[in-house]
Amino acid sequence: MRNVSSCNKLNPDRQNKTQQSMAETPAEPQIDCELQPPSNTLSEPQLQSQLHPLSEPQPLPQPWPQPLPQPDSLHEPQPDTLPEPQPQSEEEVKPWMWTRHRVLLLFLLTSSFCASIVGLAYYSQQHLPPESTPPASPPCTSPACQRAAARLSISVDPFSQPCDYFLFPCGSEGASLSNRGRQRGKGMPLHPQGHKSRAAQAEKDRERGRKERETGTDIVEKAPADRMPDRQTALLLTMREILEAEDRSSPGNSAKQKACMFYRSCMDTGPTETAGPEPFLRLLHKLGGWAVSGRWNQTDFNSTLSLLMRDYGTFPFFSVYVGKDPNDTQGDKRYIQIDQPDFQIPTEWSSKTQKSKANTQILRLFLASYQRLLGLLGSPSSSTSLHIGLFISLSSELAVAASPLPHRLQQGLLYQRITIKELQTLAPAIDWLGCLQTTFHPHPVSQSDHVLLHNLPYIVHMSRIIGKWLNKHELSGSGPLHTFMVLSLLHTVIPALDSRFTQTERNFSLALGTTEEDVPRWRQCVLQTEKGFDTVLTHLLRETTAYTEAEELIQNVYSSIKSKLPDLRWRDEESRMSVLNKIQSLTPRLSTKNNIFSEAELNQLYSKVTIDKHKYFSNYIQSLSLQRQGSNKLFSQTEGDDIWSITPFLSDNELVFPMGMFVQPLFHPTYPRAINFGVLGSLMAKDILHLLLPNIHSQSVSPRSIAECVRYQYLSMTEGPGREGAFSLSPAQQQEMWVQYSALQIALQAYNQSLKKYPGDSSLSGLSHTHLFLTSFTQINCDSDPYHEFMPFEPSFLVTVICGYSDLCPKTLSCPNKPQQHLLGTC
């Protein structure tokens, strides 16, 4: 406001009067002039707004109401000088003075209150617990969570070293920082240490296999504990845990106990090594002997063939199985299908002659290998050369008509439908009706039944060769056809004999240049147990499946997919409606499998099975018979509905999720939901997108635009400015990148929806919900992904993209050593 002197200069008469009054009554203060806010001073509401920028300014009483400017005067220039104030009496000024005091007092109180609120808010932000340790989340302490926490404790937190972790985690060892080739795409070089680590691992595998073969014991080298196994291995490990668990509640003769005893007899290689070839020789005697040993009962050819097919799962001259006809789109019927066998003798296909033949050098190796096998059986060396020579000659004649699958597909030789009666006319050397009735008993088989052939020329040729060898009277005492069948049986049962037989087969494979991975003994035993006890293992897996939690995960993920797809940019309305109608028409559900047996029914089903924990060979023979008996279920079994299914499949209007998907460490009902959604939820979303949208690239432009956006983000993080064109993406890569990125988004959205419906989630290792979700996602072993070849970089980098445009991540991902590290937008 103006000072007194300036006001008095404006009114000299008033100045004299005021001085006289002050001399008479000095105790009463007076307002010298009219109060007016100067042009260069802030009003009180403006001052309050600057003092408290986070709060809305409060309206204050205006002692000088200002008239609103008229529209036509908004742009008129205002005078620089204030209007001359009008004289006021003391009585008129005093009320305004007290109003001003009250305004100032109110302003001070309001300012103090707001300052206190701002101070408390700032203090709270600075002293709250970190986002990774929310106090409201109770920790999970179940045994499954303890194992998950142990894995987290020895793994690198991806958010502590984002510049390295999100480029190197998939399939690498240890901390997953430098032993992994960071890029798979064109123009993105492999990390040099990746070669060393793989070479070292290969050498380690060979050494482990050598020791295992020498000692006959199972030397299991577990995968690094900070990485999750692939889904197939996770299911196998679950079945192993079930089979190795002590169950004192079930009776000793229960189906479950018999399955567990079979597995343990397989794992205990000591009695097998001690027994040597004797178990097979006893079986050979039961079949009537063979000419190699000089003791053969001249058994009937078709009778022996039927016996081998029924009881021992051995098909020397042709293979038989049950399956659908893909050309029959109207029905769901299963047919007996007949194909060429897997020959023991290696052959080469000549596209010029359209025939197969055996290489001379390979024949020498083959001869030496079978001489070794016959020597292990104790056969006299004086007779082995003749019988092996006849075996090789017969094998070569049969194999010449065999042809590779691409050739048969090109020639239209697959799924040729024919009746058994017609087949008997074309290939009379085999008693087709008798063999098939014996194999599939008690399933009815008649001459009018149709079967599907996959190489009719071979079947006709095979029958002619067998007829020729049967009529060679000079060889009737040598029994070459019987010897051929016995050696085929030997090939079937070698896994149940001592390690010398297995090693002989392996040496032959290595001589051919075939490198096979050494399968751990426990894995072999789990797979063999399932062949004979598949119904039992399915029952046991069902008992461990958490149906409620699994169904919740399925429904949340599928609901998230349905909400995301309409937002895509479609190429046309027809494509959009086709996809959306397909998604809406399907009902997702957890598989319950057909033919569910109770425990009592299972015990009855396996009542005639006798398992000896010290005689694996006899147990193995029983499992072959059980496996053949179980083949009758294939005539009515739903496609994909088996114990080893690990991906969803379509069945009519249902999207079925197998129980084998919901196993540790990918899923557990006691896990925090952040783990279940981060791991299995993202895998499920990816499976569904692959299954239902295989041609999304031709239906929508979104996969291409999103993939290019993610690629740009990746190059900005790794290569820096100017490298955006370092490599291009093929349509298959664009689609896979969209699938992987969308799956992560879908799983995260599904998890958030789950939290809204059921607030709260348990914690693990003190991590927040989102932190645990994203960290779990990065621990997926992506090397086992069948589509991983189409990803130019590791899927874990997608976490960087997600974190780049949201505040969900526990901390900002920064790379101080990178020339360009910021993400430029939302993909």
Of the chain, the percentage scoring pLDDT greater than 90 comes to 49
Tokens read off for 438: 């014996």
Give the pLDDT mean for 714-736. 75
Confidence of residue 712 (pLDDT cuts 50, 70, 90): confident
Instruction: Name which of 305, 322, 341 is nearest 455 in CA terms.
Output: 341
Hey, which of 10-14, 402-406, 476-480, 713-717 has the most confident mean pLDDT? 402-406
Surface-to-core class of residue 381, CB atoms within 10 Å of its CB (0-12 exposed, 13-18 middle, 19+ buried): exposed
Top-confidence residue, 433 or 812: 433
Quick: pLDDT tens for 68-123.
333 333 333 343 433 444 444 444 444 545 456 666 666 666 666 666 665 555 54
Top-confidence residue, 441 or 420: 420
Neighbours of 549 (CB within 10 A): 17
Confidence of residue 163 (pLDDT cuts 50, 70, 90): low
**Predicted pLDDT at 147:** 93
**Predicted pLDDT at 218:** 43
> Does residue 520 have a cis peptide bond before it, meaning omega lies within 30 degrees of 0?
no
Average pLDDT, the chain: 78
Give the pLDDT mean for 665-683. 96
**Predicted pLDDT at 634:** 74
Give the pLDDT mean for 689-713. 92
**Predicted pLDDT at 162:** 64
364 pLDDT above the threshold of 60: yes
Quick: pLDDT tens for 379-414.
888 888 889 999 999 999 999 999 999 999 999 999
Residue type, 401: A
- Poorest-pLDDT segment among 70-79, 143-152, 430-439, 631-640: 70-79
Quick: pLDDT tens for 280-305.
999 999 999 999 988 888 889 999 99
Confidence of residue 616 (pLDDT cuts 50, 70, 90): very high
**Predicted pLDDT at 223:** 45
312 pLDDT above the threshold of 50: yes
592 pLDDT above the threshold of 80: no
Give the pLDDT mean for 33-48. 36
**Predicted pLDDT at 157:** 75
Quick: pLDDT tens for 47-65.
333 333 333 333 333 333 3
Top-confidence residue, 788 or 375: 375
- β-strand partners of 482: none
124 pLDDT above the threshold of 60: no
**Predicted pLDDT at 239:** 96
198 pLDDT above the threshold of 80: no
> What's the CA angle centered on 199, arms 198 and 203, to 5 degrees?
115
**Predicted pLDDT at 359:** 84
Pairwise CA distance, residues 711 & 741, whole Å: 11
**Predicted pLDDT at 113:** 64
**Predicted pLDDT at 190:** 27
Pairwise CA distance, residues 731 & 736, whole Å: 9
Confidence of residue 126 (pLDDT cuts 50, 70, 90): very low
Confidence of residue 227 (pLDDT cuts 50, 70, 90): low
641 pLDDT above the threshold of 70: no
* Cα–Cα separations (whole angstroms), residue 661 to 19, 270, 638, 657: 100, 35, 17, 7
Top-confidence residue, 9 or 444: 444
Pairwise CA distance, residues 72 & 293, whole Å: 122
DSSP of 754-823: HHHHS----BSTT--HHHHHHHHHHTS-GGG-TTGGG-SB-TTHHHHHHHHT-S-SSS----TTSS----
Give the pLDDT mean for 136-154. 89
Give the pLDDT mean for 598-618. 92
**Predicted pLDDT at 188:** 34
**Predicted pLDDT at 167:** 60
**Predicted pLDDT at 77:** 38
DSSP of 69-135: PPGGGTTSPPPSSPPPPPP--HHHHHHHHHHHHHHHHHHHHHHHHHHHHHHHHHHHHHHSPPTTS-T
Quick: pLDDT tens for 735-783.
999 999 999 999 999 999 999 988 889 999 888 898 999 989 988 876 6
Top-confidence residue, 342 or 132: 342
Quick: pLDDT tens for 168-181.
545 444 333 233 33
Give the pLDDT mean for 197-209. 41
DSSP of 272-322: HHHHTTHHHHHHHHHTTEEGGGTEE----HHHHHHHHHHHS---SS-EEEE
Tokens read off for 214: 């020498």
Question: Can you list the alpha helix ranges (DSSP code H) found in 128-254?
Answer: 143-153, 162-165, 192-215, 231-244
Instruction: Name which of 507, 527, 529 is nearest 516 in CA terms.
Output: 507
Surface-to-core class of residue 57, CB atoms within 10 Å of its CB (0-12 exposed, 13-18 middle, 19+ buried): middle
**Predicted pLDDT at 17:** 40
Question: Can you list the alpha helix ranges (DSSP code H) found in 606-730?
Answer: 616-630, 673-676, 682-692, 696-699, 702-718
**Predicted pLDDT at 136:** 56
* Cα–Cα separations (whole angstroms), residue 350 to 84, 403, 444, 560: 115, 9, 41, 53
Confidence of residue 249 (pLDDT cuts 50, 70, 90): low
**Predicted pLDDT at 383:** 80
Instruction: Name which of 548, 569, 570 is nearest 669 in CA terms.
Output: 548
Confidence of residue 265 (pLDDT cuts 50, 70, 90): very high
